[in-house]
Structure formats: structure tokens, C-alpha cells
Amino acid sequence: MPLLHVERIAKSFGGIQALRGCTFDVDQGSVTGLIGPNGSGKTTMFNVITGYTHPESGLVKYHDATIQGQSPRTIFERGLGRTFQAPRIFGRLSLVENLKVPTRQGTSHEPSRHRSTEWAEEWLAFVGLAQHRQTMAGALSYGQRKLLEFAIVLAAEPDLVLLDEPAGGVNPSMIETMAHLITETNGRGVTFLVVEHNMGFVMSLCHHVVVMHQGQVIADGSPDAIQSNPAVLDAYLGD
């Protein structure tokens, strides 16, 4: 049984049909890539899964429970976290304070250690930001903000994390760091669904790839199979 099951999701904005009946699965313990040209509906799909946008029709199942239409808070409490294309951190809080913000209150998933400074510092050390622990997050560089946001989401110990362009807008060294962090966290049992344009990053990291084009899923398979899929090549290279 997949950890996340998306079935026939449709969403439109005015006259634009952003998602047209998308269906795919994310297996527990996997790193799954969600790729596609600009405007194919990847971020809208993320927003639907995480409750920031409600679909017009279709089904999203997480841990076999239906979650579409629920609030972002409820979905996060269930153990489904996400990052954003442009990192959204709390700029006027210190890094340690940022790490203490996420909460899964009211569930059995928030042990008291989540609230401790030691816990926050462990995660900052994990992403290499320990020396900036008391710095205001707004003073960080773009790449550092991506790392901080990654740590913020992971600090709540989610089962599934949706990463929106983790390698976007950062230098090659930081891309390597990010890939290493994802691999290591995945080894600890966290499942990832990754939207990314950097094909080298996706193909080397992901166990499974879903391809979207014009609001539809056009291919779904292993990285090798996806790279030789004519529909995918056509979508990326065009006529």
C-alpha cells in the first residue's frame, strides 16, 4: 500500500485547468521525483496535497486516510510536511527559535524533546547551520534559508516531506549538500516527494519519477525508464 495516493485530482483557476485528473502513488521509504516543464502543475499539486489549495474533484489518501480539503495544519499534524520553492522561514526569529516553531500538538507525534533547544541545535548541526544558531533567520543567504526550511520541516519528524525545488537557485556545492541530506534522512525512514528541474539531481536521487505536462501525469516509472520515454522527451523538447 502506498504512503500517498493521489487519484484523479482536478483543479482550475478561472479558465485555466491546472490539474486534469492526475493519479500517482508515493511508496513508503522512497524518494519520488515529480518533474515536468514550467506550468505543468507540479506546485499546484503540492498545494493540493498539503491543503493550501482545495481540489475540485479527486482523492488524496495519506496513510490510507482521505486528506484532501483538510487544512495545512491538520495535514502537517498527520506527519506530512513541505518546503516551498522560495524558502518560507521566520526572518525575525533566531535559527533556534525557527526550529522550535513546528508543532504537532494534540497528536501523539509531538514528544517534549521537539520543544527543547538541544533538539533544535541537533537539527541545525545536521544541516550545517549550528554556528548561526542565534542569528536572525532573515540574515541568512538564499541557500542557507533552504537548509533552514529543510531542518524546520524535519524537526517535527514527519513521515513524508514534499520538497519544492530543493536545488533551485543554489550553487553546485549546496546542491551536493542538499542531495546528501535528503539521502541521509531518507535512510532514517523519511519518504520524499521532490519537485525539481535539475535532471541530474532527480535522476541520481530518486527511486521513482512521475512526469507531469499540461496538468496531466504523462509518465510514471524508474529514472531509467523515464529518460527514454518518448512522451517525456516530447514534453521537454517540444515539437
Residue 205: CB minimum distance to another protein, A? 18
Which of 2, 37, 72, 221 is the binder for another protein (CB under 8 A)?
Answer: 72
Instruction: Return the residue matching grid coordinates 498539503.
Output: 50
Residue 156: CB minimum distance to another protein, A? 7
Stretch 11-50 residues interacting with another protein (CB under 8 A): 50
Stretch 123-152 residues interacting with another protein (CB under 8 A): 128-132, 140-144, 147, 152
- Could you give the 3-state DSSP secondary structure of residue 25? strand
Tell me which residue of 157, 147, 101, 93 sits closest to 124, measured CA to CA: 147
Alpha-carbon gap, residue 73 to 207, rounded angstroms: 29
Please report whether residue 2 would count as binding another protein according to CB under 8 A: no
Q: Which stretch binds another protein (CB under 8 A): 27-35, 38-46, 165-173, 225-233?
A: 165-173
Residue 4: CB minimum distance to another protein, A? 17
DSSP of 96-151, one letter per residue?
A: HHHHH----TTSTT--GGGGSHHHHHHHHHHTT-GGGTTSBGGGS-HHHHHHHHHH
Residue 27: CB minimum distance to another protein, A? 24
Instruction: Return the residue matching grid coordinates 527543547.
Output: 116
The three cell numbers of residue 225 are 525508464
Q: Which residues bind another protein (CB under 8 A)?
A: 50-52, 71-73, 76-77, 81-82, 84, 88-93, 97, 100-105, 115, 128-132, 140-144, 147, 152-153, 156, 169-171, 173-174, 177
